């Protein structure tokens, strides 16, 4: 497969720059297992689910991962913390006219000093004088995606976060979860639809372009995930009742599928660089709630694996004609797994 096989033309005005006026006020494109398309509203989601279905949600919390400062030499730097690796250490992408060398120091706002420890591929390991999460909370800025053109506001700090966010560590939101409000969660409970949690800290690599032509040559950045035993038990119970496992977002799906690579879903924490492309055999997830993804992206490849390449092409073409809103603040899709489970 070539990366160009996952390209499409998107009018720029369809890239959502702001969330809808109210959380959950989005459209929802229902994509059936056979490829049938139906235009709905997000509030219709409970009607698409069955009482014994289980929704699995990613409860990661977005951190204020963008920092600004200067090197000892005076040159300006911009940091994007990709991952917090310890109380005082983190891995970050650095933008500067000349990359700072190991052993050098940078000075951020409020005279916050950061030491450059080592270069690790395209990331840099940093050591902070204070706990990393405290520094980010105090002087960091929300890392909105690169296609959102405005500076982050107080409204973004609330809306670029799920209502069930709990575990700090993500540098990008699990955006399918942004549609849920407390009223929707109540409606699901009233219908007998249960929810369970996983944690996958979304890394900045989710926005990195695929720089190779051959899909097989691409390597994913790894991300940390946790699957609680209670979630494993809830999945087994849903299966026993005849219900489906519905992943809320590609991050929840990746965590579940990564934890089942030995053909048995296992609780615990681990790193994953799982790369799901057409031909992949899904072991856990039966349906997927997700937003619309970027052209030529690994996430577009994932949904193509889930619903079929031809089905996703048709769905995206329909969404563009119907003027759906795309990407993080955009509309949603409810995908049922292709019965073929192979590239179309």
User: How far apart are the C-alpha atoms of 341 and 319, rounded to whole Å?
Assistant: 23
pLDDT at residue 118 in the model:
96
The full DSSP string for 130-195 is S-HHHHHHHH-B----TT--SPP-HHHHHHSS-TT--EEEESS--GGGGG--HHHHHHHHHTT-EE
pLDDT beyond 70 at 340: no
d(CA 37, CA 29): 7
At 279-306, the pLDDT tens digits run 999 999 999 999 999 999 999 999 999 9
- How much of the chain, in percent, has pLDDT values that exceed 70? 98
Q: Look at strands 123-128 and 37-41 and give their pairing.
A: unpaired
In 3-state terms, what secondary structure has residue 245?
Answer: strand
Predicted confidence (pLDDT) at residue 145 exceeds the cutoff of 50: yes
What DSSP string runs through 277-321? Answer: -TT---SS-SEEEEE---TT-HHHHHHHHHH-HHHHHHHHHHHHH
pLDDT in tens, 87-108: 999 999 999 988 899 999 999 9
Average pLDDT over residues 183-210: 90
SS3 of residue 122 by DSSP: coil
- Residue pointed to by tokens 């990709």: 82
pLDDT range class, residue 341, cuts 50, 70, 90: very low
Report yes or no: 45 and 334 within 8 Å, Cβ to Cβ: yes
Question: Which CATH class for the 3-62+155-336 domain?
Answer: alpha beta
Task: Kindly list the domain boundaries of the chain, sorted by start residue.
Answer: 3-62+155-336, 66-139
Q: In what order do the strands lie in the sheet with 223-227?
A: 37-41, 27-31, 332-336, 287-291, 245-248, 54-58, 194-200, 223-227, 268-272
Query: Regarding beta strands 89-96 and 123-128, do their DSSP bridges make them parallel or antiparallel, or are they unpaired?
Result: antiparallel
User: Model-level pTM?
Assistant: 0.93
**How remote is the C-alpha of 61 from its chain's centroid?**
11
Fold of 66-139: Thrombin, subunit H (2.40.10)
> Which pLDDT band, with edges at 50, 70 and 90, does 342 fall under?
very low
What is the rounded CA–CA span in Å between residue 217 and residue 3?
10
- pLDDT (mean) for 106-115: 93
């Amino acid at each position: 497969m070539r990366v160009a096989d996952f390209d499409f033309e998107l009018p720029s005005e369809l890239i959502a720059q702001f969330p809808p006026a109210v959380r959950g006020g989005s459209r929802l494109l229902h994509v059936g297992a056979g490829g049938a398309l139906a235009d709905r509203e997000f509030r219709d989601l409970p009607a698409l689910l069955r009482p014994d279905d289980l929704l699995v949600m990613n409860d990661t919390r977005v951190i204020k991962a963008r920092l600004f400062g200067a090197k000892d030499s005076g040159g300006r730097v911009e940091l994007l913390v990709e991952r917090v690796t310890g109380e005082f250490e983190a891995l970050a992408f650095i933008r500067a006219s000349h990359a700072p060398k190991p052993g050098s120091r940078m000075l951020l706002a409020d005279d916050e000093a950061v030491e450059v420890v080592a270069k690790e591929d395209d990331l840099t390991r940093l050591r902070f004088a204070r706990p990393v999460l405290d520094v980010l909370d105090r002087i960091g800025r929300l890392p909105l995606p690169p296609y959102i053109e405005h500076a982050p506001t107080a409204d973004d700090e609330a809306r670029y976060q799920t209502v069930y966010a709990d575990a700090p560590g993500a540098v990008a939101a699990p955006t399918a979860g942004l549609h849920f409000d407390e009223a929707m969660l109540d409606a699901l409970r009233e219908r007998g639809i249960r929810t369970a949690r996983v944690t996958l800290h979304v890394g900045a690599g989710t926005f990195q372009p695929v720089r190779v032509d051959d899909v097989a040559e691409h390597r994913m950045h790894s991300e940390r995930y946790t699957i609680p035993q209670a979630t494993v038990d809830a999945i087994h119970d849903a299966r026993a009742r005849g219900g489906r496992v519905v992943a809320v977002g590609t991050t929840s799906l990746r965590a579940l599928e990564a934890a089942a690579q030995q053909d048995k879903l296992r609780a615990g924490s681990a790193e994953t660089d799982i790369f799901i492309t057409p031909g992949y055999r899904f072991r856990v997830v039966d349906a997927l709630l997700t937003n619309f993804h970027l052209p030529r992206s690994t996430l577009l490849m994932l949904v193509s694996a889930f619903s079929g390449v031809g089905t996703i092409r048709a769905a995206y073409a329909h969404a563009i004609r119907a003027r759906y809103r795309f990407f993080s603040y955009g509309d949603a899709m409810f995908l049922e797994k292709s019965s073929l489970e192979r590239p179309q």
